Amino acid sequence: MTFTLDLLPPDPKLQFIEEGHQYVYHDPAIGTIKPKSVSTVLAETEAKCFNYGIWRKSLMRKGLTYHQAEAFMRWHREHRAQVGTDFHSLAEARFKSGFLFDLDKYASNVLPEAVAIFEHFNRDFVPNVAKVFIVEMPMIHKSLIYTGTPDLLVEMKDGSTLLLDYKTVPNAEKAHDDMLWWLEHQGLMDALKIARENPPNIDGKNARSWRKRDEWVLQISAYIELVRANHGITVKQGGNLVLNDTKFRLLPHNRADIAQAWNRYAGFLLEYHSRRAGLGDALSQLALPAVEALFA
């Protein structure tokens, strides 16, 4: 094992339920509650940046109907989510198992693409890790009332402490092949012919995969605040570890990036809780004074 495990303690009153992606917190004062996640706050305030309308239109130009385009986007999202889930499970097992980790034990139960992503992550990134403090730990902010699961908090061998979030992205050539397979599987031969005759700009799509997205640093800043609120640790640096089946890239966020992103996330949190409180949501009514105090 190239690193040491020094895991921070989890909150025993907080549960994460994979089905439905729910957080359940057993509060001794107010009972069992289901606070929403960072991702939900960003989604419901429209802070997430991906434009599905543009993607839908591009599919319709290939000959798909509106409903066929919706079906493909749903299939693609579910497939990519499964790749991400499988990679996360391998990375978690690797860090928690140390010397005892055996990839063969897990490989048959996960998608081959996730295995390919993991193999170069394990070869090229893991050896640079010195200490591991958090691996996939569900957390709750008890005053601002939101939840999240940071992927990884580590000390690197260069002495830096980083909070990292994984982002698995498709290799553009494979993503195109996946679409061709889906079109053929669905019997959409006209659209298949158009797609084959008009392949995407593979180099351009691959280059765009490695760009920072605004929502990613917002998510990192919210996770860093969770670590501070729960463990009293101020993390000054973070980043997104963007991975596909051929390579990875660390997109870093410095202290200024994170401070700016936290201010923006707090604004989205205020919008979220204000709206929900106005609709009678008891949790948001409870959180709202604490969030408003951030702007006093």
Residue that the structure tokens 């670590």 belong to: 227
* Average pLDDT of the segment spanning 39-44: 93
What are the residues facing 155 on neighbouring strands?
Answer: 131, 161
What tokens does 226 get? 């969770």
pLDDT of residue 48 exceeding 80, the answer is: no
Torsional class of 196: left (φ above 0), alpha (ψ -120 to 50), beta (otherwise): alpha
Instruction: Round to whole Å and give the CA distance between 14 and 172.
Output: 38
pTM of the model as a whole? 0.90
* Average pLDDT of the segment spanning 223-233: 97
N-to-C CA span, the chain: 48
Q: Between these two residues, 175 and 274, which has the higher pLDDT value? A: 274
Lowest-pLDDT choice from 85-89, 204-208, 220-224: 204-208
Q: pLDDT by residue (tens digit) across 176-185?
A: 888 889 888 9
pLDDT of residue 142 exceeding 90, the answer is: yes
Contact residues for 253 (Cβ-Cβ < 8 A; gap 6+): 217, 220, 221, 237, 238, 239, 240, 261
From the number of C-beta atoms within 10 Å of its C-beta (0-12, 13-18, 19+), residue 158 rates as: exposed
Residue spans of alpha helices (H) in the chain: 38-44, 52-61, 66-97, 103-107, 112-124, 172-185, 189-197, 202-209, 214-231, 255-278, 282-293
Band of residue 223 on the pLDDT scale cut at 50, 70, 90: very high
Band of residue 190 on the pLDDT scale cut at 50, 70, 90: confident
The confidence score (pLDDT) of residue 206 equals 67
pLDDT of residue 50 exceeding 80, the answer is: no
The confidence score (pLDDT) of residue 1 equals 60
The confidence score (pLDDT) of residue 247 equals 85
Q: pLDDT by residue (tens digit) across 91-141?
A: 999 999 988 999 999 998 999 999 999 999 999 999 999 999 999 999 999
Band of residue 25 on the pLDDT scale cut at 50, 70, 90: very high
Summary mean pLDDT of the chain:
91
Q: Between these two residues, 121 and 214, which has the higher pLDDT value? A: 121
Q: Between these two residues, 198 and 230, which has the higher pLDDT value? A: 230
The confidence score (pLDDT) of residue 62 equals 83
Q: pLDDT by residue (tens digit) across 238-288?
A: 999 999 988 889 999 999 999 999 999 999 999 999 999 999 999 999 999
